[in-house]
Amino acid sequence: MGNRVVITGYGIISSIGMNADEVLHSLMDGISGIGEITKFETIHKGKLPLAEVKRSNEELLELCCLKSKKKYSRTTLLGIVAARQATEMAGVKPGQSYRTGLVSANTVGGMDRTEDFYPLFLENLAKGKLSEVINHDCGDSTEKIAEYLGICDLTTTISTACSSSANSIMFGSELIKAGMLDRVIAGGTDAVTRFTLNGFNTLMILDKEGCCPFDENRAGLTIGEGSAFLVLESEELALKEGKKIVGLLSGYGNANDAYHQTASSPEGIGAGLAMAKAMEMSGIVPGNINYINVHGTGTQNNDLSEGMAVQKLFGEYVPPFSSTKSYTGHTLGAAGAIEAVISLLSIQHNCIFPNLRWTTPMKELYIRPVTTLLKDIMVEHVLSNSFGFGGNNSSLVLSKYNPR
């Protein structure tokens, strides 16, 4: 058997908590992070909800012990917070001899700063500070996070819409398995922006009350922000270093159904393939999955497509499932990593978190999400789904670590 990839640390920041302990508390107590828009001015203020991280950029700078506001976008600051938590848990320090890489994902880059530049610039082409736009591209946050952590062996950015950070975790694992790196900090980060809010509103898929995934009366998704990172290491290295192993990345799969620019195929073909491939790599059968953290955005198309795929793959024995986007909102490029950390919390604490705001079954499906907290149950394998625009579908299987 090949060398397994284990998880030795994780970090998370979202609308429901500044770290894993706070996030777990919110998940256990059914506390959603969806609320009023407060972080920027927009015509949608008071009309559309968001799931915002409850800290200003200045507070995030202070938390990271950074001073230069001009150097960092909000996307970068969120990423630094989560990546630092992950590396601290794993005991990763700059200057260690092991080959360490960073694979980070996002979709908006430093657009929050670009949006501050353009009003003045459009009013007068001689105005506007160019320092506001130098952080615009998606790779800028990756470079800044790597610089903060002292990582120089490999850094790369992935942007595949909503599956971005799930793909960064997959790619990080592949780099370790190929012998190119010993350790990878993999995950993603995204901040809420006017561009994102306006774009999804144009698609007419935003819920004015807060998303209710897998409900018959669902009206769309809720945009969120946040970041999460996992520290992936070869099992051999982790055991050699005497590390505490908090989980196993036992399988993953990616498939593209190439159906539409933004919609999933009605039958969930790509979603089903991704889930099947992830379980095949794990060496487990559908009956071994204890919990599915579904993609569950709350849109008409996504929930039906994913639900059809789950029913076809699992048949009569669909495991408990829920969408934790009902807590965090849809964090876009960070969603896959945030939900991977939530999946690890489920495994570590032997519980399954409820799908909030669910009341009415979908008429096309016979399956129902978990709506109350399930405690004191054995959770050994979690299937975590992340399905992006263009049909880029990714699934991870996160498992309880058992030495061979």
Q: Which residues are catalytic?
A: 162, 295, 330
What is the identity of the amino acid at 300? Answer: Q
**Residue of 194, 214, 218 whose CA lies nearest to 206:** 218
Between CA 292 and CA 248 the distance in angstroms is 16
The rounded distance, in Å, linking the Cα atoms of 307 and 209 is 23
Spatial distance between the Cα atoms of 401 and 6, rounded to a whole number of angstroms: 8
Half-sphere exposure of 185 (CA within 13 A, CB side): 42
Beta pairing class for 247-256 and 392-399: antiparallel
Burial class (CB in 10 A: 0-12, 13-18, 19+), 276: middle
Angstrom distance (rounded) from CA 110 to CA 298: 27
Calculate the alpha carbon distances from 371 to 212, 214, 273, 366 in Å: 11, 11, 27, 15
The single residue listed with the structure tokens 């989980």 is 247
Is the separation of the CB atoms in 232 and 186 below 8 Å?
A: yes
Angle between helices 335-349 and 20-29 (to 10 degrees): 70
Select from 250, 305, 238 the least CA-distant residue to 277.
250
Cβ 109 vs Cβ 141: under 8 Å: yes
Both tokens assigned to 26? 């919110």
How far, in Å, CA of 107 to CA of 161, rounded? Answer: 6
- Please enumerate in sequence order all residues whose Cβ is within 8 A of that of 21, keeping only pairs 6 or more positions apart, or say none: none
